[in-house]
């Protein structure tokens, strides 16, 4: 983190490969490109980059109205899902003579290349531009192997034969990389997989096995979902339906959501104005969000337990192995706080459209439950597991 003295020094020196001046935060798309470029840190300085708002191209301080909304809007860029992996941002107000400037500090990514809307942006001198096919591998080679999250690490014994390369080329790649970049692409499939963090030195990563693998449980025993439909209110009652859902995560999500939809009951009710309305005992979107959240955030590394969905007569319980992670605590859980035990999985689910915005899944589920008339969900946050209990609408 840069202190105020260092920020003022950078402001004085002027625009460079680490510093950008902008009059205002109005052009969000250009700001995203600049954040992406600074996070990629093509020169490999290892130092944060800074965007100063309230300063023109010549370095003249124009000033900016100081308000918390501007600061919050800029910091919200990291959770939009447009820049992947998520950038690390800090913001600070500076007083320069009698005017106010906002400094947005962008930390260099440990896991380049960083993309914005499927394109890799870099900063050369004082300009932001798309990376060339030669520059992208330079970024990928700088990943710090010792610091990689679990889902970025190579899987012993796995090879390209264990991945569904047809799905990668036909579905994943067009969603992850901009069309015009693909049209100009002359790289091998190995280079494409490496660029998207699915390959390290020719070996598939755990994230690759989970998202693209033909049989993930062959390498990660707990990578499946157990579904039980129980006639009653305790585990001792008869089991009416029992499914073990396996396969890569996109297939698991599709199959689980089909099962959930099949078990939801819908009743016909008459509103006060005599209109007929349909009332479901559970809103599908809420259950979808909780299951997606469980699969993205669960602990795959040290637990062989599956994600469990137990559907009783009066409630649905969804449980994943692994407690809260990183900066997420009991106090800020449910309030937009985000951190990722499996950042590559989170990126892949965003790429495939299962996540619209980071940190929004639980609020979206709760909103759907309230709209449907279900009681407030109950969360059981334990050191080794997270369980949500959703009760049936009256």
Question: Could you say which DSSP state residue 165 is in?
Answer: H
Q: Compute the distance between CA of residue 4 and CA of residue 386 in angstroms, rounded to an integer.
A: 40
pLDDT of residue 324: 86
Q: Compute the distance between CA of residue 110 and CA of residue 39 in angstroms, rounded to an integer.
A: 9
Q: Compute the distance between CA of residue 335 and CA of residue 348 in angstroms, rounded to an integer.
A: 23
Q: Compute the distance between CA of residue 305 and CA of residue 66 in angstroms, rounded to an integer.
A: 50
Are 307 and 225 spatial neighbours (Cβ–Cβ below 8 Å)? yes
Q: Compute the distance between CA of residue 111 and CA of residue 117 in angstroms, rounded to an integer.
A: 17
pLDDT of residue 292: 95
Give DSSP secondary structure letters for 319-364. EEES---TT--TTTTTTT----SSHHHHHHHHHTTS-SSTT-HHHH
Give me the count of residues in the chain: 394
pLDDT of residue 144: 55
pLDDT of residue 339: 80
pLDDT of residue 146: 46
- Structural domains of the chain, with CATH: 4-129 (3.30.950.30), 148-218 (no CATH), 225-391 (3.30.565.60)
Give the pLDDT of the chain (394 residues) as one tens digit per residue.
Answer: 688 899 999 999 999 999 999 999 999 999 999 999 999 998 888 899 999 999 999 999 999 999 889 999 999 999 898 999 999 999 999 999 899 999 999 999 988 899 999 999 999 889 999 988 778 877 876 665 446 789 999 998 999 999 999 999 999 999 998 888 888 777 889 999 999 999 988 999 999 999 999 999 999 999 999 999 999 999 999 999 999 999 999 999 999 999 999 999 988 776 666 677 788 999 999 999 999 999 999 999 988 999 999 999 999 999 999 988 888 888 888 776 778 889 999 999 999 999 877 778 899 999 999 999 999 999 999 988 999 999 999 8
pTM exceeding the 0.95 threshold for the entire prediction = no
3-class DSSP state for residue 94? strand
Give the C-alpha distances (Å, rounded to integers) separating 307 from 252, 294, 351: 11, 7, 22
Pure H helices in 264-322:
284-297
Are 140 and 134 spatial neighbours (Cβ–Cβ below 8 Å)? no
Are 272 and 266 spatial neighbours (Cβ–Cβ below 8 Å)? no
Give the C-alpha distances (Å, rounded to integers) separating 168 from 10, 130, 171, 253, 319: 43, 23, 6, 17, 29
- DSSP β-ladder status, 239-245 and 225-230: antiparallel
């Amino acid at each position: 983190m840069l202190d105020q003295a260092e920020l003022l020094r950078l402001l004085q020196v002027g625009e460079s490969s680490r510093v950008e001046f902008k009059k205002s935060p109005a052009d969000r798309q250009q700001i995203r490109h600049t954040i992406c470029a600074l996070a990629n840190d093509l020169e490999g300085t290892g130092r944060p980059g800074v965007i100063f708002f309230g300063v023109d191209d010549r370095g003249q301080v124009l000033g900016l109205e100081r308000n918390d909304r501007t600061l919050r809007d800029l910091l919200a860029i990291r959770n939009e899902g447009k820049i992947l992996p998520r950038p690390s941002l800090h913001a600070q107000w500076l007083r320069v003579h009698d005017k106010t400037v906002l400094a947005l500090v962008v930390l260099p990514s440990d896991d380049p290349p960083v993309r914005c809307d499927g394109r890799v942006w870099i900063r050369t001198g004082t300009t932001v531009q798309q990376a060339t096919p030669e520059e992208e591998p330079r970024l990928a080679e700088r990943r710090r192997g010792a610091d990689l999250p679990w889902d970025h690490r190579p899987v012993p014994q796995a090879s390209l034969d264990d991945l569904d390369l047809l799905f990668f080329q036909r579905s994943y790649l067009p969603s992850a990389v901009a069309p015009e970049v693909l049209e100009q692409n002359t790289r091998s499939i190995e280079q494409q997989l490496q660029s998207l963090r699915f390959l390290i030195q020719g070996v598939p990563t755990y994230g690759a096995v989970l998202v693209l693998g033909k049989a993930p449980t062959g390498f990660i025993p707990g990578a499946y979902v157990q579904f039980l439909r129980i006639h009653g209110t305790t585990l001792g009652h008869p089991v009416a339906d029992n499914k073990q859902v396996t396969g890569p995560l996109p297939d698991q999500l599709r199959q689980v959501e089909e099962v959930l939809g099949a078990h939801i009951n819908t009743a016909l009710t008459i509103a006060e104005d005599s209109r007929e309305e349909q009332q479901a005992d559970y809103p599908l979107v809420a259950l979808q969000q909780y299951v997606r959240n469980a699969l993205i955030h669960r602990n795959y590394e040290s637990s062989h337990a599956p994600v469990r969905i137990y559907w009783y007569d009066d409630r649905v319980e969804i449980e994943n192995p692994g407690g809260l992670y990183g900066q997420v605590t009991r106090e800020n859980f449910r309030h937009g706080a985000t951190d990722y035990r499996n950042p590559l999985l989170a990126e892949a689910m965003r790429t495939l459209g299962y996540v619209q915005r980071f940190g929004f899944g639980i609020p979206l589920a709760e909103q759907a439950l309230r709209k449907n008339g279900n009681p407030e969900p109950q969360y059981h946050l334990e050191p080794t597991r997270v369980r949500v209990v959703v009760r049936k609408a009256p």
